[in-house]
Structure 1
Amino acid sequence: MSKILVVAEHLGGTLNPSTARTVSAAQALGPEAIDVVVLAADPAAVAAQAARIAGVSRVLAVANPANADAIAQVQGPQVAAVATGYSHVFGPSTTFGKDLMPVVAALLGVNQVSDLMAVEGADTFKRPIYAGNAIVTVQAPAGHVVVATVRTASWPVAGDGGSATVEAVQVEATLPTHTRHLGLAAGSSDRPDLQSARRVISGGRGIGSEENFGIVFSLADKLGAAVGASRAAVDAGYCPNEMQVGQTGKIIAPELYLAIGISGAIQHLTGIKDAGTIVAINKDPDAAIFEVADIGLVGDLFTVLPELEAALG
């Protein structure tokens, strides 16, 4: 039977929803146990949140002042040490996981499985390639621990209601000193986080300017939605890079996705393929976005959006 270790992602004492999605992927293996490891200077609050995830057997709390910031080179040796006895080590395919998990895989002497989106067996998985245009089945070598990042957009959030035990764990690992944390630069916003939001509104090149993006923000505030953008809008300087949705941006899976003035390049569609309902507004009736949209409206966004906002009250 499989025994899986999930590495928790957190920031500011709050557990990231990507952790619960990673637990869902772990549950697909039908394992004997799913444990979550929390690395922090003081892991108590985050560990308590992780313990409430349904399906989690134990939460391993690793307290170390060196874990005050998520530095892959510092946390990697600790995760590798804790991983003894586990058949699988999973982390989310987010910026955090993409930074940390290759370090863990290297220390354990195995290849990493990236962007796991479906489970076929204990060592057989499906993952996207070619910007999501093809799905490939990969098989990890039998008899070796499987280290993988989980494509969180492909998995639901595991439910609440768990009551896992929290255990303090002392880790014996040599931590490097050549890498240190200098600072964290992140955009501040009162809107929901783009990668975990239930509703997302994105603007494209059709918005026309940075100033015009105000109509997207206004509608998003009405809907309580996060705001994203296409690569074309980012490249044009309409909005910052952290808002980009797509292959080279964020991969998201909201329940509702509104694409405003977005043509539908394959790079962008890769980032929204797991969205629940896709609504597209574009004045070009031949725009590629209409081929994937559940609801499409051909019209001038500068007329349609104010009308839609007024209708919302």
Structure 2
Amino acid sequence: MIYLSICIPTYNRSNYLQDVLESFVNEPEFIETDEIEIVISDNCSTDNTESVALEYVNRYPTKIKYNRNTENIVDGNFEKVLSMGSGAILKLNNDTLVLNKGSLAPLLQDIKHCYENNLIPFLLNGTMPVYKEPIVCKNASSFIATVSYSCTWIGGFCISRESFQKIDNFSQEYSLQLVQVDVLMRLLKRGCEFLVIPDKFYQSIVPAKKGGYNLPKVFLTNYFKILRKYLVSREELKAFREEKRIMLFKFVLPWIVTISNDANKKASNFTFDISDYKKVVKNEFSALTYLEFEFTFLIKFILFSSKAFLKSIINTNTV
């Protein structure tokens, strides 16, 4: 029986994809059992992604599947790659997400536990070290309070094949670039229970270029739009208010500070658009929260710049 489908949507990252595939195929559980498969959906890449993928398909024809879209369907590729999976649990896997050596066995054990207990796994991958044991979340408010903005990470997203086949219009929030969050909320509102797993199974490769979208719009405007639709009870609204502040100050603010400093470099690693972040924050928060945000940004920006400056001096003096 196939318990786990590793579903990899990819575009123009053949070198990273090869590292990801290699990290799985060398695990004993992949080699010695028929409980895991890998499915790859190529979003019409212009590099050699197809040849890399087909090399692995030829090596493991019963365990790896490959599809090439005739055009780039952007986030619609999440639904496409999940639809290719045959496993009881379908897991999205970034094309930059390399499995740690020896991690497939405990991951598979958690997947089997979820299947046997009618739970859907969600992987935090060590991002919240405060959690030492898996946590069962039975509703949307407890889930958001537990995982916070980690719910936006596709590498943590899993869905049972049964739930995937039953859900209507999977990609209905395609335009908001957070299809996965909308699906998670729908599952929770329908009574699905999640097992939030804190363990670190993966290492993420930092790509040469990261971004390509409007960061504050996606993670503030769009994210909040989705949550507003589903978090409506008193308990849920409380969780939503808390999540808004967490997303703003713990996620978006550090990114804006980093990108603002990085913008001064000639070889920037980031291609995020943050040009209208002040307008977005003003639209989503009170005037007092906006002032708090601006003040905090200024302090963090100065500290970030000072550390970078001191580091450059130290490096210069040690050459």
Structure having the larger proportion of residues in strand: 1
More helix by share: 2
TM-score, structure 2 length as denominator? 0.34
Structure number with higher relative contact order (C-alpha < 8 Å, ≥ 6 residues apart) = 2
